[in-house]
Amino acid sequence: MNSRKVWSRRQSFVSHQEPKSETRKRDSGEESFMEQTAKVRTCLGFNGNGTEAVDFYISLLPDSYIENSFGPNPEEPPLVIEFTLAGAPFMVLNAGPRYTPSEAASISVLTKDQKETDHLWDALTAKGGQAGPCGWLKDPFGVSWQIVPELMPRLLSSPDKAAVARTMNAMMQMGKLDGAALQAAFNTPQ
C-alpha cells in the first residue's frame, strides 16, 4: 500500500494508507459476480431520505443496484449509500438540511426510444416531481434530471447549421422531449 499525507480537520497532517482496490459482490437474481468498487463517484446530498431516493432510482433503470451502505448508528438511516445507476457509480450522503440539490448538477439519461423517455419522465415527475423545459425535470426528492433521446446529440452535432437551429428551436418549445418531433424539425426546411 502507498502512504500519503492528508489534511485533517484539526489542520495537522495525518498519515493515511491507500486502500487496496476492493471488490464487492452483488446478486443479480440470475447470477453472482464480482465488481470493482469505483474510484470516483458522484455524491448526492439528502436530508435523511437518501435510502428512499436510491430505492426509487434503482427501480427505474437496468444495471442499477445498491453496492454498500453504512453509518454510525444501525437504528438510523445509513449515512452513506453507494450505488450504481445504469452502470454509473453514485453515492448518497444523508447529510441533513444544510445541503440541498440544485440545478447546478443533474443526472442525464440518454433514452433509446420514446417509450423509455415517456417512462422515465412520467415516473420522475409523479408524486411531487416537477416538469421543466427542454427535457429537464426535478424528481420528488429535488434532484434535477435531463431525459434526452439518444438521437439528440447526433442531431445537434450535424454540420447542417440550419437543421441544428430548427432542432434547437423545436427543443426550446418542449418540456418532455419528443424524438419524432425533433427529427421532423431537423429534416424539414422552413
Tell me the whole-structure pTM to 2 decimals: 0.79
Does residue 180 contact residue 167 with C-beta atoms inside 8 Å?
Answer: no
| Residue 12 identity (one-letter amino acid) | S
Q: What is the pLDDT of residue 58?
A: 98
Does residue 47 contact residue 101 with C-beta atoms inside 8 Å?
Answer: no
Dihedral of the alpha carbons of 184, 185, 186, 190, in degrees to the nearest 10: 120
Q: What is the pLDDT of residue 38?
A: 87
Overall average pLDDT of the 83-89 stretch:
97
Rg, the chain, Cα only: 20
Overall average pLDDT of the 154-179 stretch:
98
Q: What is the pLDDT of residue 12?
A: 31
In tens, the pLDDT along 7-64 reads: 323 333 333 333 333 334 444 443 333 345 789 999 999 999 999 999 999 999 999 9
Residues 6+ apart with CB under 8 A from 5: 13, 14, 15, 16
In tens, the pLDDT along 101-146 reads: 888 999 999 999 999 999 999 999 999 999 999 999 999 999 999 9
Question: Where are the extended beta strands (E) located within the chain?
Answer: 3-7, 13-17, 23-27, 32-36, 42-46, 65-70, 80-85, 88-94, 106-111, 130-131, 136-138, 144-149
